[in-house]
Each structure stands twice: as structure tokens, then as C-alpha cells.
Amino acid sequence: MKWILLIVVLCVSGPAWAGEARPLADDPAAEARLKHLAVELRCLVCQNQTLADSNAPLAEDLRREVREMIAKNMSDKEIIEFLVSRYGDFVLYRPPLKATTTLLWVGPFVLLTIGATALVITLRRRAHKVVDAVVSEEEHRKVEQLMAEGGKRS
Amino acid sequence: MNRFLLPLSIFVVVVGFLAVGLKLNPREIPSPLVGKAAPDFSQPQLYDREKVFSPADLKGKVWLLNFWASWCSGCKTEHPVLMELAKSGEVPIYGMDYKDLPEEAMAWLRQWGNPYSVIGMDDAGRVGINFGVYGVPETYVIDKQGVIRYKQIGPLNPDTVSQKIIPLVKQLESQ
């Protein structure tokens, strides 16, 4: 009986918590634009989350600002400029290519080139070593002998 | 010996980068607003909601704008430093009560003291957004022309005040 009651209570109370994640969309098109913008923007409080994911109060406020700017018919570029002028490039998940970010953009390719060059050089050297190894008559006989012994043992 | 030289030098370089990386604080985001005009606002004052607090009234003065809130623990840490600075009379401190309830803010100031000349209310956090605030406390040094000259992220401590804020204020005042 207790169990049935518990199940009933859980089923009934479900919609009560569902209210928390209520969609804020009065205008689905605006909300879609907000979502599209918010995944490109970083929440400054919890720095590894996007503005779309974060529940920090500042992220909520910024989403509200972005929503208002969308309602004012501002372009994506203008909205991003609004945020960058206040919070700097840090707010962008994709940093722009500038003098200060060159290393960030070019660095991985430089490392890749260095790695590839090192690999090619090592492989070439190794190839030479293998070719250069000369087996003398004496060594050859020893190998044969050892292999024969190994065969007997197993 | 020679064959260890290359790996060792790579190791030293990597350690060097990591050592520098450890000392960087990812929470300190350089503000693009330093060197630019402080955003304008006109906010109701905490102690008199009829009156407005606006940076336009402070043209010709060097002043500090401190974003704080009664719910913010860093502000409690910073508070004695602000009280000390206010007592010294080196520079006027103006407060912006960020996303706070007026009753709680007033109770907080009654308990710990009020270092501010005037306090504005930023209920919605809009002034904060315009100043690029992303966590209280934050403090801005604003010069006579209304240009932001310095931004402190996080609590002020006695060292920052004596080594950065006061020399900067003196320099700006002599201009």
C-alpha cells in the first residue's frame, strides 16, 4: 500500500518540477538565434561552459541582454561586438586571428611540422642502419647453431 | 652525454612554460575597457531612491567605483581595506550595489561600516554588464575625464592599494 502511495505521489509531483526548465521562448525564432549565439560565447564565471550551458546568474543576465538585442533586431555581429567591447575576446570560444593569437592558431601546425620532420629523419636513419648491418660468416654460423639448439629444446 | 642534451633541453623548455602557466590566473581577464571612457549610467541611490547617481556628476575628479554586494564573501574580505582607504581620504570611493536587496545592503553597511561617498543600486546588473563585471568585488579607477585607468578584479588588499591604487590616483590628480 505504501509503495502504491509513493508511486502515485512521484507521478503526480512530476509536472511540479518540470516547471523549472520552462522554455522562455515567446518567439521561437528569437530563441533559436539566442541558442545559436550562446554556444559561441563563453560564460565568464564558470569559464569552461558556454553561455548556453551555464546557470550562473551572470550568464542568465547576459542571455537576457542578448535576447533583448535580438528583439531590437541587432545583427549577430553587433551583438558579439557588444559583448567583446565589455568582456574582451575571452568571451568568444573561437578567438579571432590577431597578432597576440598567432601562436595559438599557428602553434599546432608548427608542432606538427616539427614532429613530422623528426619522424622522417629518424625513419631514414634507421633504414640506413638496417642496410649497413653486415653479418659475418662466423656470426651466421652461430645463428644457425643457436636456432638448431632452440628447435631441439621445444 | 651528447644524446641526453636534446631531450634535456626540451624538458627544460617544457618545464619553463609550465612554470609560467602555473603562475597565470585564468580568472584575471584583461579588460578591454581600461583606457576607454567609463560607461554612462544613472542609477537610484541606495539611501535615497529619488536621487540618481551618475558618473557625469564626478567629472573633474579622480574616483574609485567599487562593485559590491551584501551576498558577496569577497566583499567582506575587502571591506576593511576600503574602510582604511576611505579614512585616509586619498580618494573618494563610490559604491555600486550589484544585484542586491536594499534592506540587506543597508544592514550590511550598518554592521561593517560605510566607506562609500555615494552608493548606486544596480538591481538588474546592467551597469555591471556595461562595465564588464563578471564577479564582485571589482574596482575601477576613473580619472578626471571619466576614463577608466585601472581595473581590479577581486578583492583589493593593502598591498594593491598602497602600491598601485594610491600612486595611480596621485599621478592622475596631478594631470
Domain end, chosen from A50, A77, A96, is at: A96
Which pLDDT does position B109 carry in this prediction? 95
CATH of region B35-174, choose from 3.40.50.970, 3.50.50.60, 3.40.30.10, 3.20.20.70: 3.40.30.10
Dist CA B73 CA B136 (whole Å): 9
Dist CA B161 CA B85 (whole Å): 8
> Domain limits of chain B?
35-174
Dist CA B132 CA B140 (whole Å): 11
For chain A, which residues score pLDDT lower than 70?
A: 1-26, 130-133, 153-154
Q: Which residues pair with A111 in a beta bridge?
A: none
Residue B144: exposure state from Cβ atoms within 10 A (0-12, 13-18, ≥19): middle
Q: Give the CATH number of the domain where residue A87 resides.
A: 1.10.8.640
Which pLDDT does position A27 carry in this prediction? 76
Domain end, chosen from A52, A79, A96, is at: A96
Q: Are residues A85 and A128 in the same domain?
A: no
Q: Which site among A48, A66, A81, A90 would you substitute to test the B interface, given the most B Cβ atoms closer than 10 Å to its Cβ? A: A90
Dist CA A41 CA A149 (whole Å): 71
Which residue segment(s) compose the domain that A139 sits in?
Answer: 100-153
Q: Tell me what the mean pLDDT of segment B166-171 comes to.
A: 94
Report the residue from B32, B124, B135 with minimal CB separation from A85. Answer: B32
Q: Are residues A87 and A119 in the same domain?
A: no
Chains A, B: CB contacts under 8 A, how many? Answer: 41
Residues of chain A contacting residue B131, judged by C-beta atoms under 8 Å apart = 86
Contact with chain A for residue B32, Cβ under 8 A? yes
CA distance B32 to chain A (A): 5
The angle formed by the CA atoms of residues A32, A37 and A38, to the nearest 5 degrees, is 95
Torsion of CA B4, B7, B8, B13, to 10 degrees: 160
Split into its structural domains, chain A has a count of 2
Ramachandran area for residue A134 (φ above 0: left; ψ -120 to 50: alpha; else beta): beta
pLDDT, one tens digit per residue, over A9-19 is: 555 554 444 44
Q: Do A88 and B131 touch (CB under 8 A)?
A: no
In B136-155, the residues whose Cβ lies within 8 Å of chain A are: none
Q: Do A87 and B29 touch (CB under 8 A)?
A: yes
Q: How far apart are the first and last CA of chain A?
A: 72
Q: Are strands B93-98 and B119-122 parallel, antiparallel or unpaired?
A: parallel
Which pLDDT does position B83 carry in this prediction? 95
ipTM: 0.77
Dist CA A120 CA A111 (whole Å): 14
Q: Are residues A117 and A92 in the same domain?
A: no
pLDDT, one tens digit per residue, over B119-134 is: 999 998 999 999 999 8
Which pLDDT does position B26 carry in this prediction? 73
Q: Are residues A91 and A108 in the same domain?
A: no
* Domain assignment of residue A68, yes or no: yes
pLDDT, one tens digit per residue, over B33-85 is: 899 999 999 999 999 989 999 999 899 999 999 999 999 999 999 999 999 99
